[in-house]
Structure 1
Amino acid sequence: MLDQHRVRADTPGCFGQAFLDSAGSSLPPTVVTETVIAHLRREAEVGGYRAAAERADDLADVKVALAELLGARPGDLALVESASRGWADFFYAVPLAAGEKILVSEVEYASNAIAALQRAGATDAVVEVVPSTPAGEIDLDALARMLDERVRLVSLVHAPTNGGLLNPVREVVELAHGVGALVLLDACQSVGQVPVDVTTLGVDALSGTGRKWLRGPRGTGFLYVRPELARTMEPAALDLHGAQLSGQKQLGGYRLAEDASRFEFWECSVAGRLGLGAAVRYLLGLGIEAVAASVAERAEFARACLAAVPGVTVRDLGATRTGIVSFTVTGTEPAAVRESLAAKDITVTVSGRSSTQVDMSRRGLDAVVRASPHYFNTLEDVQRLVDAVDAIR
């Protein structure tokens, strides 16, 4: 069980408001903020190069901490600027030929879907959408029927941005690998709120972000690539970090890095990466199982209480739920609900159709209100949301 007094004391931003948008960009613990600011100050004193050299061990530990959280090895990880960047770096490195297929789920995030359509147009590949079950998860039977030797990649969203379900990853991996297809997991909404172990899941690649449930800085993300696979892939873009020139006196070629660092660029926000490392270490200190239990308790409390309010419809699907709680209020647009709540110092956001077009269109939804309580929230924060929503209707 988490020490609620401690985690709230470590999160000064949670006082005086009900902050319920950790699925957007969460409140960082003090250690993250102080780590970032301290390094920026040091850069102002001695310059960026010297400041980074002083923290070389701490920078290396960012991957060590992430590897511990994800059940990976440090060399399996690349540090990037966002989950979208990590996802795209891997996706654009997967060879595609005319007639080959990319399968996506109905809850595919718009950025991923756009990239898939762009590459399909450039290579004469085909993008197909795997249907969902009535419960909302990816339909494994339908997936099995769609898989054949032409499928090159299955893109799977672990936890959708517009609702609280969790997709079955291991089952998808086993089906996809049966025909030689790769599985790329978008885990930006799951890492940090539920246990995610890449070895157990068996995915070929996984992208994640620092700013959401990990409570790290914006502008930070990571990409995991299965080690055997990483050594065979060439990123679409390289620099002198991901590769080195092999010629002595002339440009004779280049050698790729031996691990997932081939997906990294040399230039980065050192302060941001140190803050990401601090966020992951903070989470590891709490324990992901305890965090997951706390998030689930708050989310289920929110669903139950909101569902009891006349005129409110909870829109979450799935047999296994996450900390994302989506709902609508009859007669009031989601954006108006958000603004009304903001006036009462309750922070939520809106997930619109454009973010998950296929799923939202299938369900006849233009937008939903999205609340995402984290472990630093109290049940009183959630009740404050429910009372305010009741007052709106």
Structure 2
Amino acid sequence: MSALAERWRAARPKVAGLHLDSGACSRPSFAVIDAVAQHMRHEAEVGGYVAAAAAAPALDAGKSAVAALTGMTADDVIYTTGSNHSLDLLLSSWTGPRTVACVPGEYGPNLALMAANGFDVRALPADGSGRLLVDATAAMLAADPPAIVHLTALASHRGIAQPARELAETCRGLDVPLVIDAAQALGHLDCAVGADAVYSSSRKWLAGPRGVGMLAIRPALAQRLRPRLPPADWNLPMTVLQRLEHGETSLAAQVGLSVALGEYLAAGAETMRAALAAVGKLTREALADVDGWRVVEPVGEPTAITTLAPTNGADPQRVRDWLVAERGIVTTHAEVQRAPFELAAPVLRLTPHVDTSAEDLATFRDALADATEEV
């Protein structure tokens, strides 16, 4: 095991089994757990608002870390309750025509938010793996530009890295705002690609607490938004981002996220991304010929997400449940509604973090064979 893997594992409670589910919810460190608890204790001692003022430096540091990972400034960043909340804030505040273009494999809950906010959705060209076709997309956007382009840089149901930087260059040349869903990408792939807005959650690859996320918006795009609350005609001395930021979120979770971001940056963003790509390759090599399953991603795809499609009738939901109940192995059953216009059948998803070893993957392979036979 590498030094990075050993440090990552040692910084966390011992796993009760085998955790291959960081794309759903990573394991926070002792430092993150302690930071959350300490802030809550401080709230009990001095009151929530006094504790909030004391936490301001930590929260500002977290915004600076998000800015570093998205290529923006700390003033462009707000905390939210998660990715869905972030996208809803953006879409509900949009003042222009409500048209948005995205790949056919767009995340189902994102599509639901687009529909709920009255957006007409157009499909961008993609290849058979779901990867955006940049040249065809450029031609389509030039001929009939939507109001917004939205890209989920790394999907929930398939570990294919999208060409986010190339799309950002295309959109910038056409003066079309690009919004990136980085729920799976932040801390996993390079997200400082020149997008106009980037949003993400804390609990995945950054290994922060649940219930907190972040939204970064460039000033030019922020000025095109009109948040619902408080009403604009009240003429209150508040910026757009101040109006977007929600006051009833968990500051303890925000403090925990700030600590997690600090740990991530201390390890080195490029180092972490390379390690995640390496563990993804290791996973696909370990499972390349497992009986009854097919690895969906190319072996060298630079992500840690591996999806397994059943080839002989296995039920990913039942297999996932058996693995948890019988072996303490946590994975994800990725259902069709995650990508309702691309995913034809459920898959089993593995999302190991940097501390996953070859021995762990061998253990999973044996357990998967048993689960497939049992259920």
Q: Which moved more, 1:47-56 or 1:104-113?
A: 47-56
1:103 maps to 101
Q: CA RMSD in A?
A: 2.1
Match of 2:327 in 1: 344
Q: Give the Cα–Cα distance (whole angstroms) in 2 for the partners of residues 66 and 2 of structure 1.
A: 25
User: Quick one: which of 146, 168, 176 aligns to 2:140?
Assistant: 146
Identical aligned residues as a percent:
30
Q: Give 2:153's aligned residue.
A: 158
* Alignment deviations for residues 145-199 of structure 1 (CA, whole Å, 9 cap, x no partner): 32235511111110000011010012222323333321110000011122321xx
CA pair 345-318 structure 1, distance change in 2 beyond 3 A = closer
Match of 1:130 among 112, 124, 129: 124
| Structure 1 unpaired stretches of 5+ | 244-250
Match of 2:5 in 1: 4
Are 1:307 and 2:299 counterparts?
no
> What is the rounded CA distance, in whole Å, between the counterparts of 1:252 and 1:328 in structure 2?
54
Give, as a single letter, the amino acid of the residue that structure 2 aligns with 1:174.
E
The equivalent of 1:248 in structure 2 is: none
Post-superposition offset of 1:79: 0.8
1:118 matches 2:116? yes
Contact 1:103 1:129 in 2 (8 A): yes
Alpha carbons 2:95, 2:226 under 8 Å: kept: no
- CA contact 1:144–1:175 (8 Å) conserved in 2: yes
Shift of 1:305: 1.6
Unaligned runs of 5+ in 2: none
SS for the counterpart of 1:163 is coil
CA distance in structure 1 between the aligned counterparts of 2:114 and 2:10, rounded to whole angstroms: 43
SS in 1 for 2:349: strand
Counterpart code for 2:338 = S
Contact 2:168 2:195 in 1 (8 A): yes
Give secondary structure in 1 for the equivalent of 2:286.
helix
Q: Which amino acid aligns with 2:101?
A: L
Partner Cα distance (2:235, 2:190) in 1: 42
**Matching residue within 264, 278, 290 for 1:297:** 278
Q: Determine if contact 2:4/2:354 at 8 Å carries over to the other structure.
A: no
Structure 1 residues 232-381: aligned runs within 5 Å: 232-238=224-230, 253-257=235-239, 260-316=241-297, 320-329=301-310, 330-342=312-324, 343-360=326-343, 365-381=344-360
Distance apart, 1:136 and its partner CA: 2.6
Letter in 2 for 1:3: L
Partner of 1:289: helix, strand, or coil? helix
Distance 1:29 1:13 in 2: 10
Q: Is the 8 A contact 2:316 2:347 kept in 1?
A: yes
The number of residues matched between the two structures is 368
Distance apart, 1:281 and its partner CA: 0.2
- 1:259-285 deviations in Å (ceiling 9; x for gaps): 634421223211011000000001011
CA deviation after TM superposition for structure 1 residue 252, in Å: 5.7
Residues 318, 6 of structure 1: alpha-carbon distance in 2 compared, 3 angstrom cutoff: closer
What amino acid is the match of 1:106?
P
* Alpha-carbon distance between aligned partners in 1 of 2:33 and 2:21, rounded to the nearest angstrom: 18
SS of the residue 1:255 aligns to: coil
Distance 2:253 2:366 in 1: 37
* TM-score under structure 1 length normalisation: 0.87
| Matching residue's letter, 1:331 | G
**Does the 8 Å CA contact 1:164/1:317 hold for their aligned counterparts?**
no
Q: In the superposition, relative to structure 1, how do residues 318 and 256 fare at CA in structure 2: closer, same or farther (>3 Å)?
A: farther
